[in-house]
Amino acid sequence: MQPRKAILNVKPYQPGKPIEEVKRELGLRDVIKMASNENPLGPSPKAMDAIRKYLQNINRYPEGGCFYLRQAVARRLKVKPEQLIFGNGSDELIGLLLRAFVNEGDEVMVANPTFLMYEIASACHGAKIKIVPMRYFKYDLKAMKDAVTKNTKAVFIANPDNPNGTYAAKYELENFLKGLPEETIVFLDEAYSEFVEEGDYPDGLDYIDKNNIIVARTFSKAYGLAGLRVGYGVANPEIIKYMEAAREPFNVNSLAQAGALGALKDKDFLSKSKRVVREGKKYLYSELKALGIRYVPSVTNFILIELGPKSGEASERLLKKGVIVRSMKGWGMGNFIRVTVGKKEENKRFIRELKKIVA
């Protein structure tokens, strides 16, 4: 048996360990997870109500086109329903874009470090990957623009970025988009956009009519539905048409559609989630400063923290104390860990255990 050459050197994505696995492996009873940028408040109550009501229908296949969710998102964003595509998480949209527009050997551009799935999915499709380093933990859009050629089929930009928590300002994105080759499509990943409060943060939807750009968003983060895996993309109808042709039927399950529709209506939960992150970051920043620990200021619900050469050891010691954080070794950032902002008591527990380590 011989696999495709494209995947021979692909390193699979390694997700953060789930709570149950850590309990089982280490024999712990009380474990908190601050590794995967999930909503610590749990799911939206309105999402839960919608899921319960739909449970009796799960003997039926889901609505293939996400009709009701499509209509609701279109109304919320003030776009046309045909400008939307839904996926099994926004991760699936990465693959759909590649499947629809990128041939084997075509050039794809990514930054480093950024969300690993851009490079992994592109490599699996046999794309030629051009990597542009970040500058001071931010996308260097000027350098990326200079590196774009007529052969560049797709450019992946996470705004805000994961794992850095930084963002590209409006003027930076607009300068990047000006004069791109007609065949180049920009995948603008706004998975964490709901948490951003900076006034110069660009709304990707402002650019979809005049540019080959698809804006990807998700219900996994601020809306608390990571386990249901539902995301969506917004673009001009022509881009959506070709991606829909590459989409598998029934890719978003019935409960995910019902839950997302319920969550979309829960404005109070969204406001509370943003407040918890805002207050949590303020507390964590203060404690980290007091400990003399460097971090990257974040506009998201997580913080990149520099602990030096022993960061891997620190993440393991935290794990043994029932605090799951994300080691950054997989990103080539061995001196860092990434920590999701949790509830007040979770943030305090993390700091308490961290103090023991740095002491």
At 213-263, the pLDDT tens digits run 999 999 999 999 999 999 999 999 999 999 999 999 999 999 999 999 999
Which is more confidently placed, 319 or 23? 319
Mean pLDDT of the chain: 94
Judge whether 114 and 156 are in contact, CB under 8 Å. Answer: yes
Percent residues over pLDDT 70 in the chain: 100
Q: Tokens standing for 247?
A: 């989409």
CA–CA distance, 93 with 328 (Å, rounded to integer): 24
Q: What is the mean pLDDT of residues 108-118?
A: 95
pLDDT the model gives residue 242? 96
The answer to whether 108 touches 122, Cβ cutoff 8 Å, is yes
Full 3-state SS string of the chain: CCCCHHHCCCCCCCCCCCHHHHHHHHCCCCCEECCCCCCCCCCCHHHHHHHHHHHHHCCCCCCCCCHHHHHHHHHHHCCCHHHEEEECCHHHHHHHHHHHHCCCCCEEEEEECCCHHHHHHHHHCCCEEEEEECECCECCHHHHHHHCCCCEEEEEEECCCCCCCCCCCHHHHHHHHCCCCCCCEEEEECCCHHHCCCCCCCCHHHHCCCCCEEEEEECCCCCCCHHHCCEEEECCHHHHHHHHHHCCCCCCCHHHHHHHHHHHCCHHHHHHHHHHHHHHHHHHHHHHHHCCCEEECCCCCEEEEECHHHHHHHHHHHHHCCEECEECHHHCCCCEEEEECCCHHHHHHHHHHHHHHHC
pLDDT of 306 > 90? The answer is: yes
Report CA dihedral (204, 210, 212, 216) to the nearest 10 degrees.
20
What pLDDT band is residue 339 in, cutting at 50, 70 and 90?
very high
| pLDDT for position 7 | 74
Return the pLDDT at 6. 73
Residue 8 has pLDDT above 90, yes or no: no
CA-CA distances (angstroms) from residue 112 to 107, 154, 312? 16, 16, 20
pLDDT bin (cut points 50, 70, 90) of residue 300 is very high
Q: Is the peptide bond before 160 cis (omega within 30 degrees of 0)?
A: yes
Section 116-126 average pLDDT: 93
What confidence tier does 22 reach under pLDDT thresholds 50, 70, 90?
Answer: confident
Mean pLDDT of 14-41: 88
Q: Which residue has the tokens 């393991």?
A: 316
Q: How confident is the model at residue 286 (pLDDT cuts 50, 70, 90)?
A: very high
**136-171, pLDDT tens digit by residue?**
999 999 999 999 999 999 999 999 999 999 999 999
pLDDT at 15: 76
The answer to whether the beta carbons of residues 143 and 125 sit under 8 Å apart is: no
Q: Is the peptide bond before 113 cis (omega within 30 degrees of 0)?
A: yes
Band of residue 314 on the pLDDT scale cut at 50, 70, 90: very high
Q: Could you tell me the pLDDT band of residue 310, with boundaries at 50, 70 and 90?
A: confident
Q: What is the pLDDT of residue 280?
A: 97
Residue with tokens 């050469």: 309
The per-residue pLDDT for 49 is 97
Domains and CATH numbers, the chain: 5-43+268-358 (3.90.1150.10), 45-264 (3.40.640.10)
Q: Which residues pair with 81 in a beta bridge?
A: none
Confidence category of residue 283, pLDDT binned at 50, 70, 90: very high
Q: Is the pLDDT confidence value at 14 over 80?
A: no
Q: For residue 293, is pLDDT > 80?
A: yes
Instruction: Give the pLDDT band of residue 201 (cuts 50, 70, 90).
Output: very high
Task: Count other Cβ atoms within 10 Å, centred on residue 265.
Answer: 16
Q: Which of 10-14, 179-183, 203-207, 245-249 has the lowest mean pLDDT?
A: 10-14
pLDDT reported for residue 3:
77
Which contacts (CB < 8 Å, 24+ apart) does range 128-135 have? 134/161, 134/164
Burial of 242 (0-12, 13-18, 19+ CB in 10 A): middle
pLDDT score for 1: 79
CA distance 306 to 338: 9
Predicted confidence (pLDDT) per residue in 30-83, tens digit = 999 999 999 999 999 999 999 999 999 999 999 999 999 999 999 999 999 999
For residue 2, the model assigns a pLDDT of: 76
Identify whether the C-beta of residue 264 lies closer than 8 Å to the C-beta of residue 76. yes
Q: How far lies 242's CA from each of 17, 100, 137, in Å?
A: 35, 6, 34
